[in-house]
Amino acid sequence: MGLLSRLKEIFTGEDKESGKKPVKIPVVDQEKSGPVKPVEETVEKPMVKPADVKTEQKLDGEIKEEKPVVNKITVGHVHMSGCTGCLVSLADNYEGLFKILDDYADLVYCLTLADVRHIPEMDVALVEGSVCLQDECSVREIKETREKAKVVVALGGCAAYGNITRFCRGGQWNQPQHESFVPIGDLIDVDLYIPSCPPGAEAIRNVCVMAYLLLQGTDEQKELAAAYLKPLMDLAKKGTEACGCDLMVDVINQGLCMGCGTCAASCPVRAITIEYGRPNIDREMCIKCGACYAQCPRSFFNFDVMNQFEGIIEAIDGAMGKGGE
Amino acid sequence: MVLGNYKTAVSARAADPEILKYSQDGGIVTQLFAYALEEGIIDGAIVAGPGDEPWKPEPVVATTKEELLAARGTRYTISPNMMLIKEATRSYGLDKVGIVGTPCQMQAVRKAQLYPMAMRKVPDKIALAIGIFCMENFPYQGLETIVEDHCKTKMESAVKMDIGKGKFSVYTERGALSQIPLAATHKYEQPGCHVCLDYVANLADVSTGSVGSPDGWSTVFVRTKKGEDVWTKAINAGYFETKDIADVKPGLDLVTKLATGKIDKNKKTLEERATMGVGKGLRNPYI
Ligand SMILES: Cc1cc2nc3c(=O)[nH]c(=O)nc-3n(C[C@H](O)[C@H](O)[C@H](O)COP(=O)(O)OP(=O)(O)OC[C@H]3O[C@@H](n4cnc5c(N)ncnc54)[C@H](O)[C@@H]3O)c2cc1C
Ligand code: SF4
Ligand code: SF4
Ligand code: SF4
């Protein structure tokens, strides 16, 4: 598995510049020494960001690599009509989020977390929420996001499928005219979906790491990242409507369901039960978040990626400085 | 590779006679979970527990050996074990989850780890995933038809069901054995199994089945670092009897043969589905 060991090497590799000991990813050691808490990582956070240290340091020897990591990518969180749950989910990566921001991505735009008023140029835009057609500003901002971001990600059910905002009726103080909410894909081209309400913190983390590899990685890493991201890109191509009924139409009616129950576990509103070994969807309860279909192993199953699950999980853990929460 | 990646393959059975009494084969699943539970490697395991109808399993989170023992044996019908995967980490508050399942359920576990879109807090809590070999499964009503109509046995009087040597067998509490050729059961298989390309649970940490080993023993593949770690510890602690797989009959050749057969047959189904002979076609979940 040259690909994965290479990937691990990059992530876990020597911090050449500060002369610090390499960050060890103690997968094997940990297992030998029995269960340990994810915070076991002994590496201390530098007081100053490595980028600042660099300028002060006298390099002796012939160290060529000047940066702690390859170029960071720039990421923005664009907030449309959503409940901020997706942003909270991003933050729920805990230290993992710091790791992402320290090493892989600069947050160039984000409500409450970055003091930036206008949508800047960025590599990846994570868009939360649907677009209110009666809100000029939102319509303008989503178009601007498309123009300024290389990759637009619909983060969460609202951005991808409308989700609960599909059911809006307007009449809300103090903008009673706000009544039509559409998933962002109805107005702009979207590159990638992360469905569910809210999406799992770990899913956002994985996509961030893979997006980083896709934009900044070696050829091999790019290949892996592309394979990983493809199904999520395919979801974006597939359309802007989702419902528990997708299981019926696209899985059961297609003779593909094998009754594993993953869909029932994934539904955030418990609209799914398993009856006669098949999902039964309470359509009154379904909020149209797209989680069940996306999580079903028979919606897509990516042999290229899934067969390497052990190496990829280790690599992502390594990238996150272990633990990932 | 039809048998998937594995570090070791052995023939084994549980050392605990209590477990062997009602386990399907070598009691590998129950014994390994019991050991892992004892050692704190898992806090509990999702297993197919007894349901409210005879032979109809109900997924349960077992947190005691008694609950594991109650779930022993194979129910040849759908047990949606993945249904509890998130619940196990929430309501049950488990940090280290064990799960047993068919190969397709192992695929679901790994997808939930790599693409955890709606699986908050699941990915790093899977501590031990045990896969069981599987050629096909039956919907409950399908199983009922096979047992009651074809095997002429009441569901509630059956004490064991088994598939092997080309036959579907039902044993009753009064010692009767009813057998029908496996061919007679094919039409009751669940359709989703016909596109399945995994016989030996390639993605499990440890996978096991009867095929390849003598009666009462199981064939075991140890596949991942996690799997190897717990298996080695369990062996060292004397929880299993083992035999070199090369020394048992019929051995891995038969496993390979059956796995290849399943994959070839189902690949063909996928190809047929691609056009259905009318150029319209059905979905392929693998592309
Ligand atoms: C549908 C099906 C088809 C199978 N086909 C084959 C085959 O072709 N060849 C082969 O060698 N082996 C097959 N097996 C596996 C075999 O029957 C045994 O389950 C396996 O050998 C484990 O036996 P054991 O004595 O180690 O486990 P035990 O200690 O008896 O424990 C079995 C475990 O499996 C769980 N379980 C039982 N039924 C189900 C179910 N329907 N879904 C999910 N989990 C369940 C139980 O809860 C229990 O934890 C199949 C199993 C199933 C469920
Ligand atoms: S997740 Fe997919 S395969 Fe599993 S029960 Fe639900 S619809 Fe069926
Ligand atoms: S059934 Fe549940 S998971 Fe599926 S789309 Fe509806 S709300 Fe989402
Ligand atoms: S044949 Fe495949 S799809 Fe069917 S139950 Fe077994 S592992 Fe699942």
**pLDDT tens readout for residues A41-92:** 455 555 555 554 444 445 455 545 444 455 899 999 999 999 999 999 999 9
- The dihedrals phi and psi of B249, each to the nearest 5 degrees, come to -110, 145
Given this model, what pLDDT does residue A70 score?
57
Ligand 4 centroid distance, CA of B110 (Å)? 15
Burial class (CB in 10 A: 0-12, 13-18, 19+), A256: buried
Given this model, what pLDDT does residue B40 score?
98
Given this model, what pLDDT does residue A26 score?
37
Given this model, what pLDDT does residue A45 score?
53
Region of poorest pLDDT, from A217-226, A263-272, A314-323, B84-93: A314-323
- Nearest residue CA, atom 1 of ligand 4? B136
- Chain B CB contacts of A286 below 8 Å: none
**pLDDT tens readout for residues A231-244:** 999 999 999 999 99
Ligand 4 centroid distance, CA of A126 (Å)? 37
For B274, the closest chain A residue by CA position comes to A254
Report the alpha-carbon distance of residue A245 to residue A272 in Å, rounded.
10
Task: Enumerate residue ranges in chain B where pLDDT < 70.
Answer: none
For A199, the closest chain B residue by CA position comes to B117
* ipTM summary value: 0.97
Ligand 1 centroid distance, CA of B137 (Å)? 10
| Partners of residue B99 on adjacent β-strands | B46, B129
- Chain B CB contacts of A303 below 8 Å: 286
Cα B104 to Cα A125, B28, B192, distances in angstroms = 34, 19, 10
Spatial contact of B215 and B165, defined as CB atoms under 8 Å apart: no
CB contact under 8 A, B115 and A295: yes
Given this model, what pLDDT does residue A325 score?
41
| pTM for this prediction | 0.90
| Mutation site for B-interface testing, chosen from A209, A266, A293 by largest number of B Cβ within 10 Å | A266
Given this model, what pLDDT does residue B277 score?
80
b/e code A71-99 from CB counts within 10 Å (16+ = b)? ebbbbbbbbbbbbebbbebbebbebbbeb
- Chain B CB contacts of A206 below 8 Å: 114-116
The answer to whether residue A285 scores a pLDDT higher than 80 is yes
Q: B69 to chain A, minimum CA–CA distance in Å?
A: 22
**pLDDT tens readout for residues A4-50:** 455 555 555 443 344 444 433 334 343 444 444 444 445 555 555 55
Q: B36 to chain A, minimum CA–CA distance in Å?
A: 12
DSSP secondary structure string for all residues of B189-254: S-GGGGG---SS-TTSSEEEESTTS-TT-EEEEE-SHHHHHHHHHHHHTT-EEEEEGGGSSS-HHH
Contact residues, A window 22-41, toward B, CB-based 8 Å cutoff: 27-28, 31-32, 35, 38
Mean pLDDT, chain A, whole residue set = 84
Q: Is A256 on the interface with B (CB under 8 A)?
A: yes
